Amino acid sequence: MVRRDYYAILGVARNAGMDEIKRAYRTSALKHHPDRNPDDPEAERRFKEVVEAYETLSDPESRKRYDAMGPFYRPDGRPPTPEDVNELLSRTFGGWFKRKPGKGKAEDLRHEVTVSLLEVALGCDRTVDVPRQIRCSRCQGEGGEPGGGWKSCDDCKGTGKVQTPRWFRTACPRCDGSGRVLVRPCERCGGEGRHGTVERIKVKVPRGVGSGQKLRIKDKGDHPRGGGPVGDLVISVVIAPHPLFQRRGSDLLCDLPLTFVEATGGAEVPVPTLEGGTVIVVPPGTGSGKVLRLAGRGLPRLKGDERGDLHLKVQIEVPVHLTPEQRDALARFAARLDSANHPRRQAWDQARRDAHREWEEHRTRGGSTP
């Protein structure tokens, strides 16, 4: 990794004395200290950079070595790697100085919205309160107090460039090539050029949205430090569980408990749908596990006007808590049943008896027991 110029990091001139270096170090270290910038990895990186710059420049021996080697200097004293050299050359010739100093990278923000299945069916608008960093309007994102926050850099006479014949770098170390130095930070943003706010943002959740689907809202992320492209707000959709319906793609699944009387004799049964409900006709002799399908009563598909189906899965509920009279009635009913009333049970009983007979025959023929 090629290092930034140590003098620029501390904001001191190349010929700065030890006292000036110490003062600059104390100011910068305090500003970027992780304790004062919790959860800000950028500040932590800058803090380490400040410490590294100070450790090198405060020791006369290593400062001499740094002045001689410039960007190839390594604190551990090892020679530069070929990668270091390549990186430096590509920066020097590859437009390093065309880049506006301090330009940040777009920062996306992440947020979650929870919607109900009905809202999936109909689509909905949501408002979310998003804490985000916006460009400071007091200083127009520049970081300096309006009217005198910045002054032209003395070292380079505002050009941002210096002649250093020893190495390629020609950016002024004091102003890091920008040609100006901050003398009074903006009162609203403290020189950051941006500050926190909570913005109420409208989110359009489309019909048929999937669980975990991401909705991207352009330019509602953070404004980066020092200007540059604004990030997006990325909304993850969470679908709240429904007490009756399960989702499978655009289809809905629902249990349908029937009494054994309804299942036996057939019945008209009210069932739930997302739009309140309807009545279905259960045909006589409907068995447990049978699925009744209501076409077009599922969720809309993301594309097109079609909707999925609602699948109702029959579960016959065995009556419990019978009174003596009910048991009596059931016994009288059972006495009138014959085998034709339960064809599956009849076939099963037949198979059971056959299997038993086969075993008996095998044994009487004197076969071995397994």
Interface positions with Zn ion (CB under 5 A): 136, 138-139, 153, 155-156, 172, 174-175, 186, 188-189
User: Each residue of 122-135: b (16+ CB within 10 Å) or e?
Assistant: bebebebebebbbb
The packing angle between helices 41-57 and 18-32, to 10°, is 160
- Least separation in angstroms between residue 183's CB and Zn ion is 13
- Least separation in angstroms between residue 66's CB and Zn ion is 19
Which C-beta is closer to Zn ion: that of 156 or that of 217? Answer: 156
Burial of 188 (0-12, 13-18, 19+ CB in 10 A): middle
The DSSP symbol for 103 reads -
A 10 A CB-CB count for 62 gives 16
> CA 203, 208, 210, 215 torsion: positive or negative?
negative
- Least separation in angstroms between residue 48's CB and Zn ion is 24
Which C-beta is closer to Zn ion: that of 53 or that of 153? Answer: 153
Give dist(CA 169, CA 167) in Å, integer: 6
Which C-beta is closer to Zn ion: that of 91 or that of 188? Answer: 188
Phi-psi region of 130 (alpha: psi -120 to 50; beta: other; left: phi over 0): beta
Which C-beta is closer to Zn ion: that of 107 or that of 251? Answer: 107
C-beta separation of 317 from 258 below 8 A = yes
**Which of 116, 109, 14 is closest to 70 using CA atoms?**
14
Which C-beta is closer to Zn ion: that of 8 or that of 235? Answer: 8
Which C-beta is closer to Zn ion: that of 153 or that of 209? Answer: 153
The DSSP symbol for 102 reads T
For residue 290, the SS3 value is: coil
- Least separation in angstroms between residue 20's CB and Zn ion is 16
**Which of 289, 286, 291 is closest to 265 using CA atoms?**
286
- Least separation in angstroms between residue 141's CB and Zn ion is 7
- Least separation in angstroms between residue 92's CB and Zn ion is 18
- Least separation in angstroms between residue 196's CB and Zn ion is 12
Which C-beta is closer to Zn ion: that of 180 or that of 207? Answer: 180
| Structure tokens that stand for 354 in this block | 């056959």
- Least separation in angstroms between residue 217's CB and Zn ion is 25
Which C-beta is closer to Zn ion: that of 174 or that of 220? Answer: 174
Q: Please, what is the end-to-end C-alpha distance for the chain in angstroms?
A: 76
Give 3-state DSSP helix, strand, coil % of the chain, rounded to 5. Answer: 30, 25, 45
C-beta separation of 163 from 217 below 8 A = no
- Least separation in angstroms between residue 70's CB and Zn ion is 17
The DSSP symbol for 72 reads G
**Which of 242, 252, 246, 312 is closest to 282 using CA atoms?**
312
Which C-beta is closer to Zn ion: that of 150 or that of 245? Answer: 150
The DSSP symbol for 71 reads G
Which C-beta is closer to Zn ion: that of 178 or that of 250? Answer: 178
- Least separation in angstroms between residue 15's CB and Zn ion is 14
